[in-house]
């Protein structure tokens, strides 16, 4: 009998070569294959005669290959293969780009079965072309087309592993092996019943070869629920465990130092800041450890909230740690903290990888001896050698750059369980907050401090660059500073795009001749980068050309202009982050998005930037337009990739899954069922729960 953990090579039709190719896709076991879900489906119940094609309709066509042409096209000479097929009622041309290897398969005389969208062929009287090809198969002489009909799965295929292969082994697996296989349920029976879920075995069979659309929907529902439910269980357990584990610290209500910090601030907290601060005080004063996310748009004033919380822990006799994702940001925080807190008699230290080994060791010793009240730093703070004398609060800034694991590492650094505050400017849509940050409580800072000059944003064509930069120059001559952001560092494949280096040279020897310009990008050495940033910070550099390394947190209030080249290359959330670097001082600020805006979609996206500065709205749009993977960058959040659920589209399933997970946590028996499942399925992500 076959086991889920068996190698795929035991499946009929999978030899060692194919097994190896499958391995490259991350499919090693029978279970991996079973959960290699179709990318989409096609309804091939009807084959349409070519004469009856309607432009724009999704169709399946079967014809004989009449001829095959190969051309070179485009600047980079990509190969274009065009097959003309006929079925006795008309002709249809089908085109493949850059798939030279198909030449040997698409032999005239063979029958070709294609699905996709057809349109009128360009200039060909009454002829059709497949304008959007979904799938195709070359049929062997004896092969019946009937075997292809019905709702068919479309898998992410590769050159070595085509659709036909996947469909074949999948159907062998499902028909011959699955019925005898042991297949444990992953959801407690009570929950399955209550939510009326399809049994797992049926769902897995139907997700690959559904009888009809309604069965497909049920199968998808069930599997998406399962995925979201388990992750929610994991996150909720993490949260609960975080709150119970060890002894939390019970801070006292605010006293002298917190109050004098409040009085020494040059401004009043905004209502949202006050609310966040109240949430934090309540958490810190409770005996359970705090796990809170402060989510506030760029410039909304999160730092001061962090500072207050850190002073609160110091006032209670503990040490506070603040971790920033970059050196420059850590340094900025450090300087700001020293300035504000030294007068209150609070000792602030700095720890980063850039310190000499000797200096670092001294810091380690001093931190362990409790000589510093607050330590600001980078990743260096979570190295193993760092031990705090009495850690009371950990703040991580711009948290989306840290994974769950790193967060956990810092939390472990105290004898008592320290309170944890994470801050992010990435406006995270609610669906994501529930998944990625499901283990945290959330405070929102939506309003900006009063008196900010709103940033005005314009989308402009590249032919206006000269004018734009001339205007920037006049601003610099009036004493302001400016950023120029480019998507690329230097000659990458996309040779159309000027690199940051090229733009830098063009500008400093051109329009900005005589003004001091600087360049930073990700491939520079850390020290060089720091130096340029520092010079910009100190107003020694007036114009800073950069890639997106400046994205996070840098605060130069004198900078009032930003030009973003090839703005269509960036996501909206990212553009918003970039734009947040300006408009931080009393000056009118302008952000110019330079883009040809070739496509409708690109234009539409950039127009949204002109019309709103609401980061939350932009993030929702961005997530909608680009999908969650792009939005967060791969694996930054430390959660498993979703195999089937869609955080945007499956909000209703997500809410049900959350509800079910909450009920599970209250049910001893169901917990006994779910814990081993989590241990097996999500060992990496939820190691801390399963340590139990």
CA separation for the pair 614, 143 (Å, rounded): 58
Cβ pair 41, 66 in contact under 8 A: no
Scan residues 570-599 and list those touching ligand ADP (CB under 6 A). 584
Q: Is 63 helix (H, G, I), strand (E, B) or coil?
A: strand
User: Counting contacts by CB under 6 A, is residue 301 touching ligand ADP?
Assistant: yes
Beta strands (DSSP E) in 415-546 are 419-424, 441-445, 455-460, 481-485, 517-520, 543-546
Q: Is 224 helix (H, G, I), strand (E, B) or coil?
A: helix
Instruction: Tell me whether residue 94 or residue 619 sits nearer to ligand ADP (CB atom).
Output: 619
CB 258, min distance to ligand ADP, A:
16
Cβ pair 195, 668 in contact under 8 A: no
144 contact partners, CB below 8 Å, separation of at least 6:
none
Q: Retrieve residue 12's tokens.
A: 């009929």
Candidates 303, 475, 547, 589: give the one binding ligand ADP (CB under 6 A). 303
Q: Is 456 helix (H, G, I), strand (E, B) or coil?
A: strand
Could you tell which of ligand ADP, Mg ion, none binds residue 546, using a CB distance below 5 to 8 A set by kind? none
Could you tell which of Mg ion, ligand ADP, none binds residue 349, using a CB distance below 5 to 8 A set by kind? none
User: Counting contacts by CB under 6 A, is residue 444 touching ligand ADP?
Assistant: no
DSSP code at position 251: P
Nearest CA to 422 out of 280, 235, 580, 312 is that of: 280
Comparing every residue's Cβ against ligand ADP, the nearest one is: 301
Instruction: Tell me whether residue 586 or residue 627 sits nearer to ligand ADP (CB atom).
Output: 586
User: Counting contacts by CB under 6 A, is residue 425 touching ligand ADP?
Assistant: yes
Q: Retrieve residue 222's tokens.
A: 């069930």
CB 277, min distance to ligand ADP, A:
11
Could you tell which of Mg ion, ligand ADP, none binds residue 658, using a CB distance below 5 to 8 A set by kind? none
CA separation for the pair 658, 518 (Å, rounded): 50
Instruction: Tell me whether residue 264 or residue 268 sits nearer to ligand ADP (CB atom).
Output: 268
Scan residues 48-87 and list those touching ligand ADP (CB under 6 A). none
CA separation for the pair 455, 28 (Å, rounded): 52
Q: Which residues pair with 86 in a beta bridge?
A: 64, 91
CB 326, min distance to Mg ion, A:
11
Instruction: Tell me whether residue 215 or residue 297 sits nearer to Mg ion (CB atom).
Output: 297
Q: Retrieve residue 307's tokens.
A: 């500072």
Instruction: Tell me whether residue 216 or residue 423 sits nearer to ligand ADP (CB atom).
Output: 423
CA separation for the pair 583, 580 (Å, rounded): 7
683 contact partners, CB below 8 Å, separation of at least 6:
690
Annotate 224-233 with b (16+ C-beta within 10 A) or e (fewer). Answer: bbbbbbbbbb
Instruction: Tell me whether residue 499 or residue 577 sits nearer to Mg ion (CB atom).
Output: 577
Give the pairing of strands 40-43 and 91-97: unpaired
User: Counting contacts by CB under 6 A, is residue 296 touching ligand ADP?
Assistant: yes
**How far is CA 617 from its chain centroid?**
17
User: Counting contacts by CB under 5 A, is residue 628 touching Mg ion?
Assistant: no
Instruction: Tell me whether residue 236 or residue 425 sits nearer to ligand ADP (CB atom).
Output: 425
Instruction: Tell me whether residue 560 or residue 577 sits nearer to Mg ion (CB atom).
Output: 577
Cβ pair 163, 170 in contact under 8 A: no
User: Counting contacts by CB under 6 A, is residue 210 touching ligand ADP?
Assistant: no
Candidates 300, 378, 481, 613: give the one binding ligand ADP (CB under 6 A). 300
Secondary structure string (H, E, C) spanning 277-300? HHHHHHHHHCCCCCEEEEEECCCC
CB 302, min distance to ligand ADP, A:
4
Residue carrying the six token digits 């779910």: 674
User: Counting contacts by CB under 6 A, is residue 298 touching ligand ADP?
Assistant: yes
Instruction: Tell me whether residue 216 or residue 269 sits nearer to ligand ADP (CB atom).
Output: 269
User: Counting contacts by CB under 6 A, is residue 615 touching ligand ADP?
Assistant: no
User: Counting contacts by CB under 6 A, is residue 449 touching ligand ADP?
Assistant: yes
Stretch that binds ligand ADP, among 298-306, 489-497, 533-541, 647-655 (CB under 6 A): 298-306
Instruction: Tell me whether residue 268 or residue 461 sits nearer to ligand ADP (CB atom).
Output: 268
Annotate 511-537 with b (16+ C-beta within 10 A) or e (fewer). Answer: bbeebebbbbbeebeeeebbebbebbb
Question: By rule CB under 6 A, what count of residues binds ligand ADP?
Answer: 17
Helix, strand, coil shares of the chain as percentages rounded to 5? 45, 20, 40
Residues across the chain:
692
CB 303, min distance to Mg ion, A:
5
Instruction: Tell me whether residue 248 or residue 553 sits nearer to Mg ion (CB atom).
Output: 553
Candidates 129, 197, 204, 304: give the one binding ligand ADP (CB under 6 A). 304
Q: Is 545 helix (H, G, I), strand (E, B) or coil?
A: strand
Sheet holding 543-546, edge to edge: 455-460, 589-594, 559-564, 481-485, 543-546, 517-520
Instruction: Tell me whether residue 457 or residue 685 sits nearer to ligand ADP (CB atom).
Output: 457
User: Counting contacts by CB under 5 A, is residue 153 touching Mg ion?
Assistant: no
Q: Retrieve residue 433's tokens.
A: 């907050």
CB 294, min distance to ligand ADP, A:
9
User: Counting contacts by CB under 6 A, is residue 426 touching ligand ADP?
Assistant: no
User: Counting contacts by CB under 6 A, is residue 273 touching ligand ADP?
Assistant: yes
Could you tell which of Mg ion, ligand ADP, none binds residue 269, using a CB distance below 5 to 8 A set by kind? ligand ADP
User: Counting contacts by CB under 5 A, is residue 325 touching Mg ion?
Assistant: no
Scan residues 516-575 and list those touching Mg ion (CB under 5 A). 553
Q: Is 190 helix (H, G, I), strand (E, B) or coil?
A: helix
- Residue 478: count other Cβ atoms within 10 Å of its Cβ: 9
Q: What angle do CA 498, 571, 426 make, to 5 degrees?
A: 130
Site string for ligand ADP, 233-272 (x = CB under 6 A): ----------------------------------xxxx--
Tally the C-alpha atoms within 13 A of residue 642's C-alpha that lie toward its C-beta: 25
Could you tell which of ligand ADP, Mg ion, none binds residue 298, using a CB distance below 5 to 8 A set by kind? ligand ADP
Instruction: Tell me whether residue 223 or residue 573 sits nearer to ligand ADP (CB atom).
Output: 573
Instruction: Tell me whether residue 90 or residue 449 sits nearer to ligand ADP (CB atom).
Output: 449
Instruction: Tell me whether residue 273 or residue 399 sits nearer to ligand ADP (CB atom).
Output: 273
Could you tell which of ligand ADP, Mg ion, none binds residue 449, using a CB distance below 5 to 8 A set by kind? ligand ADP
Nearest CA to 615 out of 409, 452, 441, 445 is that of: 445
Comparing every residue's Cβ against Mg ion, the nearest one is: 553
Could you tell which of ligand ADP, Mg ion, none binds residue 301, using a CB distance below 5 to 8 A set by kind? ligand ADP
Cβ pair 232, 657 in contact under 8 A: yes
Could you tell which of ligand ADP, Mg ion, none binds residue 379, using a CB distance below 5 to 8 A set by kind? none
Candidates 555, 558, 630, 690: give the one binding ligand ADP (CB under 6 A). 555
User: Counting contacts by CB under 5 A, is residue 248 touching Mg ion?
Assistant: no
Using CB under 6 A as the criterion, which residues of the chain lie in contact with ligand ADP when the complex forms? Answer: 267-270, 273, 296, 298-304, 425, 449, 555, 584
Using CB under 5 A as the criterion, which residues of the chain lie in contact with Mg ion when the complex forms? Answer: 553
């Amino acid at each position: 009998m076959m086991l889920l953990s068996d190698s795929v090579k035991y499946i009929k039709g999978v030899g060692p070569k194919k097994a190896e190719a499958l391995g490259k896709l991350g499919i090693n076991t029978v279970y991996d294959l079973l959960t290699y879900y179709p990318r989409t489906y096609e309804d091939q119940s009807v084959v349409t005669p070519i004469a009856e094609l309607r432009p724009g309709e999704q169709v399946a066509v079967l014809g004989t290959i009449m001829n095959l042409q190969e051309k070179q096209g485009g600047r980079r000479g990509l190969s274009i293969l065009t097959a003309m097929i006929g079925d006795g009622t008309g002709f249809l041309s089908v085109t493949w780009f850059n798939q030279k290897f198909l030449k040997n398969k698409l032999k005239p005389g063979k029958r070709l079965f294609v699905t996709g969208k057809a349109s009128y062929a360009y200039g060909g009287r009454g002829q059709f072309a497949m304008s959007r090809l979904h799938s195709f198969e070359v049929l062997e002489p004896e092969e019946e087309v009937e075997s292809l009909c019905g709702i068919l799965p479309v898998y992410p295929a590769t050159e070595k592993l085509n659709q036909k292969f996947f469909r074949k082994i999948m159907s062998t697996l499902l028909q011959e092996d699955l019925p005898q296989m042991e297949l444990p349920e992953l959801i407690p029976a009570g929950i399955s019943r209550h939510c009326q879920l399809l049994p797992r075995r049926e769902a897995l069979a139907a997700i690959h070869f559904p009888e009809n659309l309604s069965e497909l929907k049920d199968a998808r529902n069930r599997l998406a629920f399962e995925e979201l439910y388990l992750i929610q269980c994991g996150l909720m357990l993490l949260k609960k465990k975080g709150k119970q584990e060890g002894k939390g610290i019970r801070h006292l209500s605010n006293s002298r130092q917190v109050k004098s910090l409040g009085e020494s601030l040059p401004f009043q907290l905004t209502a949202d800041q006050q609310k966040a601060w109240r949430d934090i005080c309540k958490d810190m004063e409770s005996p359970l450890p705090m796990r809170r996310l402060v989510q506030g748009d760029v410039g909304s004033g999160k730092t001061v909230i962090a500072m207050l919380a850190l002073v609160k822990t110091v006032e209670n006799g503990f040490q506070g740690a603040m971790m920033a994702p970059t050196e420059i940001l850590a340094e900025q925080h450090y300087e700001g903290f020293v300035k504000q807190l030294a007068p209150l008699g609070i000792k602030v230290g700095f720890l980063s990888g850039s310190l000499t080994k000797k200096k670092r060791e001294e810091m380690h010793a001093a931190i362990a001896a409790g000589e510093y009240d607050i330590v600001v730093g980078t990743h260096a703070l979570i190295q193993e050698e760092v031990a705090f004398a009495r850690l009371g609060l950990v703040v991580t800034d711009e948290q989306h750059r840290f994974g769950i694991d790193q967060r956990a590492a810092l939390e472990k650094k105290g004898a008592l369980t320290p309170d944890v505050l994470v801050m992010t400017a990435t406006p995270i849509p609610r669906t994501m907050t529930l998944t990625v940050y499901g283990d945290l409580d959330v405070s929102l800072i939506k309003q900006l401090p009063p008196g900010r000059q709103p940033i005005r944003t314009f989308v402009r064509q590249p032919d206006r660059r000269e004018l734009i930069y001339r205007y920037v120059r006049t601003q610099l001559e009036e004493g302001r500073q400016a950023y120029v952001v480019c998507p690329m560092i230097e000659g990458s494949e996309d040779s159309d795009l000027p690199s940051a280096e090229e733009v830098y040279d063009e500008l400093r020897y051109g329009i900005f001749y005589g003004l001091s310009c600087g360049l930073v990008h990700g491939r520079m050495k850390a020290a060089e980068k720091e130096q340029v940033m520092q010079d910009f910070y100190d107003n020694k550099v007036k114009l800073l050309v950069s890639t997106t390394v400046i994205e996070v947190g840098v605060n130069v209030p004198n900078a009032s202009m930003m030009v973003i080249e090839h703005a269509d290359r960036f996501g909206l959330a990212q553009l918003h982050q970039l734009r947040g670097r300006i408009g931080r001082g009393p000056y009118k600020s302008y952000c110019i998005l330079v883009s040809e805006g070739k496509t409708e979609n690109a234009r539409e996206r950039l127009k949204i930037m002109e019309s709103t500065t609401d980061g939350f709205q932009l993030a929702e749009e961005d997530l909608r337009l680009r999908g969650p993977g792009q939005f967060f960058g791969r694996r930054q959040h430390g959660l498993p990739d979703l195999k089937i659920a869609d955080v945007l589209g499956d909000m209703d399933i997500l809410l049900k899954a959350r509800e079910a997970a909450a009920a599970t946590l209250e049910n001893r028996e169901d917990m006994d069922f779910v814990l081993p499942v989590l241990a097996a399925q999500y060992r990496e992500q939820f190691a801390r729960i399963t340590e139990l």
